[in-house]
Amino acid sequence: MEEITISKASIKDVTTLQVIGKQTFFETFSASNTKEDMEKYLTENFTVEKITREVNNLNSQFFIAWQNDEAIGYLKVNEGNAQTELQDNASLEIERIYVLTTYHGKKVGQLLYEKALEVAGVQKKKSIWLGVWEENPRAIKFYEKNGFTAFDTHIFKMGKDEQTDILMRKTL
């Protein structure tokens, strides 16, 4: 296996983040959602404008996983008011760990998760948290293996479909 590197993303990486985001979201969730809901979500949530705003948010950071010159996944973390739920200053949110399907099982997600832990450590956070779809057992198992426990749920709107995300936290 060739070496995987992680680099902090900047505004010049918006298109890369858009491509990976759309592809991984589609690969992971299209079989469980209607074509209409999937198209609507991808169209609204992976625009260059939206990702540019996210990259420019000082309370969010993106990191891209690379194998040679190919982007194979990314991490988005949020602190403060950029967090989607808790907005707890002592916590860091992992909003996204997206890895291309062909790289599942190759420790890319683990490397991105470890980058999130590093960011939380530098920022002296007391906990790290995230939301994961209740019907994504692979991701739930990954987070449980890394010491996360469920503490609440929330509703995620996927088009017309209301889905339940499990909120999970790890105390640092």
Identify the CA nearest to 75 among candidates 91, 56, 99, 51. Answer: 99
pLDDT in tens, the chain (172 residues): 589 999 999 999 999 999 999 999 999 999 999 999 999 999 999 999 999 999 999 999 999 999 999 999 999 999 999 999 888 999 999 999 999 999 999 999 999 999 999 999 999 999 999 999 999 999 999 999 999 999 999 999 998 889 999 999 999 9
The pLDDT assigned to 92 comes to 98
Q: What CATH number does domain 4-125 carry, 3.40.630.30, 1.20.1740.10, 3.20.20.80, 3.30.565.10?
A: 3.40.630.30
The neighbour count for residue 9, using CB atoms within 10 Å, is 21
Query: Is 143 an annotated catalytic residue?
Result: yes
| Under 8 Å between Cβ of 74 and 112 | yes
Annotated catalytic residue: which of 74, 103, 113, 143?
143
Contact 163, 135 (CB under 8 A): yes
19-36-54 Cα angle (round to 5)? 35
Report d(CA 169, CA 93) in Å as an integer: 9
pLDDT value at residue 1: 55
Predicted pLDDT of residue 81: 94
Domain boundaries, the chain: 4-125
